[in-house]
């Protein structure tokens, strides 16, 4: 039996779909559905049990059948200002789960974030040895960093696996609202107005639309997590991106191309509250994951956007 927290969310539900395809049907999906539309992501997934987040630890006290916990549940809003909530939800909850898994010898794979790298001045190497030097730009990034740090301090990375997600996009993200990927937003802007709005640059080193991100397709995330389940001797903290930074303009162009529409981009001012904590460049260093044996190729930006647009967004 495998538990997936955030199981109705974007990445969690996609992992569940991948595991179903690989023959895993004894899944325990954990989430908080509330009044959101993310329940729709559960449609078509075969699972053994669904649990609200508040009931998960009671379930853990009784079960003896759990082989792995894939912990994708978190508040992922980079604009969330309630630091107490984020620390309780992202740090404390993750720590309790990790401690339970370590005590019971249950595989633990969890989501960290590239937001822990802050402005990137310390680079994007995922070696935990440099973890204390990182300075996240927002409380979301810090809530993820706090657990990475405690896991390193206690030597847990010998027995658990963390994944530092970069900019993930793909199907099952529509419930995320403002936190949806730029691909999702660009598609709907093009459909409604025929153009895409991108932020102007406030950094002389980058032109408007030339800000760079490592955009990774969610299908690659699914594959990596499934591979880690099959290789339970692989532990540590790993970046998960593509290893290649691409510009927002390139992303917009790929979306126009996938939709068969002429390119039309409008640049707008970045909100002042973002200007001092905006990442102009992210690029995952992927050597660590490759060094432990992961060999599959990653979707290019053009391949991922094309698949997402043609096979998902346009089929709704």
Could you please report the per-residue DSSP string of the chain? Answer: -EEEETTTSHHHHHHHHHHHHTT---EEEEE--TTSSGGGGGTT---SEEEEGGGHHHHHHH-S---EEEE--S---TT---HHHHIIIIIIHHHHHHHHHHHHT-EEEEEEEGGGGTTSTT-S---GGGGGG---SSHHHHHHHHHHHHHHHTTGGGT-EEEEE-EEE-TT-GGGGGGS-HHHHHHHHHHHHS-EEEEPP-STTS-TT--EE-EEEHHHHHHHHHHHHH-TT--EEEEES-S--EEHHHHHHHHHHHHT----EEEEPPPHHHHTT--SB-----HHHHHTT--PPPPPHHHHHHHHHHHTGGG-
What are the extents of the domains in the chain? 2-169+216-243+284-298
Query: Is residue 117 annotated as a catalytic residue, yes or no?
Result: no
Annotated active-site residue in 91, 124, 140, 308: 140
Annotated active-site residue in 50, 53, 159, 176: 176
What is the model's pTM? 0.95
d(CA 172, CA 18): 13
d(CA 3, CA 12): 10
CB 251 within 8 A of CB 210: no
Higher pLDDT, 28 or 203: 28
pLDDT in tens, 42-95: 999 999 999 999 999 999 999 889 999 999 999 888 777 899 999 999 999 999
Query: Is residue 140 annotated as a catalytic residue, yes or no?
Result: yes
pLDDT in tens, 8-45: 999 999 999 999 999 999 999 999 999 989 999 999 99
CATH superfamily of 2-169+216-243+284-298: NAD(P)-binding Rossmann-like Domain (3.40.50.720)
Query: What is the average pLDDT value for the chain, to the nearest integer?
Result: 95
């Amino acid at each position: 039996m495998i538990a997936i927290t955030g199981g109705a969310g974007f990445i969690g539900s996609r992992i569940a779909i991948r595991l179903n395809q690989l023959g895993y049907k004894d899944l325990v999906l954990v989430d908080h559905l509330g009044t959101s539309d993310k329940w729709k992501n559960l449609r078509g997934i075969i699972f053994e049990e669904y649990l609200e987040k508040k009931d998960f630890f009671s379930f853990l006290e009784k079960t003896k059948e759990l082989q792995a916990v894939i912990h994708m549940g978190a508040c992922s809003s980079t604009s969330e200002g309630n630091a107490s909530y984020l620390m309780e939800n992202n740090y404390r909850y993750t720590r309790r789960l990790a401690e339970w898994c370590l005590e019971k010898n249950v595989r633990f794979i969890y989501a960290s974030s590239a937001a822990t790298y802050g402005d990137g001045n310390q680079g994007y190497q995922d070696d935990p040895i440099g973890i204390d030097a990182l300075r996240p730009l927002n409380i979301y990034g810090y809530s993820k960093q706090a657990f990475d740090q405690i896991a390193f301090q206690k030597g847990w990375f010998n027995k658990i696996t963390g994944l530092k997600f970069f900019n993930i996009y793909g199907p099952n993200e529509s419930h995320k609202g403002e936190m949806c990927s730029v691909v999702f937003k660009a598609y709907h802007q093009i459909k409604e107005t025929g153009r895409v709005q991108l932020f102007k640059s406030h950094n002389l080193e980058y032109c408007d639309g030339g800000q760079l991100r490592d955009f990774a397709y969610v299908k690659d995330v699914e594959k990596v997590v499934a591979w880690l389940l099959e290789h339970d001797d692989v532990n540590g903290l790993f970046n998960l991106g593509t290893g290649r930074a691409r510009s927002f303009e390139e992303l917009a162009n790929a979306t126009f191309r996938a939709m068969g529409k002429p390119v039309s981009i409008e640049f707008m001012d970045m909100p002042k509250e973002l200007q001092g904590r905006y990442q102009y460049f992210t690029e995952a260093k992927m050597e660590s994951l490759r060094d432990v044996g992961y060999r599959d190729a990653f979707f290019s930006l053009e391949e991922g956007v094309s698949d997402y647009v043609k096979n998902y967004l346009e089929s709704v």
